[in-house]
A and B are shown apart, each in its own frame.
Chain A
């Protein structure tokens, strides 16, 4: 029973390049969350998706960042024209839950660590 799988684990990009981070949720999970963890800071919510739908993207920067969770395949967090300030650990979490049917528990991947040179 595989857990949440994220890849790549480590990604190095130069300023101006694109970064694509992938997340395969646990089997049977249809809810995916993306979080960003900056050094010395907590986890910051970015976006919440269900299959083919963005439910809440209130934590996403307005520019350069986008996320999708297609009907088939993993969820992808895409950062265009990366800058040094994008260097962080990006965590994906999944949940099987239906809102208010069961208290939420998030199952986290091991994270993707992006370094922008």
Chain B
């Protein structure tokens, strides 16, 4: 079946620190992979996506590379800001196209 596992939080970093949030997946076929971000009191917003192996998604300084050999899609940012404080969700679109499978979310707090 399809599932997503992401590192547990919460994660607390100082401003300008390097961020990695791990995400691994289990899927049949060739899923598309996503990172969504949820700011306090809001719905989820797409942060970045990758649709095939070795694709790199990037947005707002965040990057993630679709690694089929390790079934991973880790989120990275070289220098986080206070405004990056949010909950980050890794997700995959299942092969049937009907369902999106989400991880449990990782809460990030960036302190000045």
Contact = CB atoms under 8 A, between A and B. Distances in A.
> Does B bind A?
yes
Interface of A: 4, 6, 33, 35, 40-45, 48, 55-56, 58-59, 91, 93, 99-100, 103-111
A103 B55 CA distance: 13
Contacts of A44: 102
Interface of B: 32, 34, 36, 41-46, 49, 51, 89, 93, 97-105
B41 A110 contact: yes
B43 A41 contact: no
B110 to A, nearest CB: 21
Given A42-B89, A42-B105, A48 B98 contact: yes
Contacts of B104: 40-42
Contacts, number: 58
Given A106-B46, A110-B43, A45 B51 contact: no
A106 B100 contact: yes
Q: Closest 3 CB pairs between A and B? A: A108-B43, A99-B97, A42-B104
B76 to A, nearest CB: 21
A89 to B, nearest CB: 9
Nearest to A45: B99
B21 to A, nearest CB: 13
B43 A104 contact: no
Contacts of B41: 110
Contacts of B93: 103-104
Nearest to A9: B41
A46 B14 CA distance: 37
A43 B97 contact: no
Nearest to A56: B98
B43 A100 contact: no
A108 B102 CA distance: 13
B100 A104 contact: yes
B43 A42 contact: no
Contacts of A109: 43
A105 B49 contact: yes
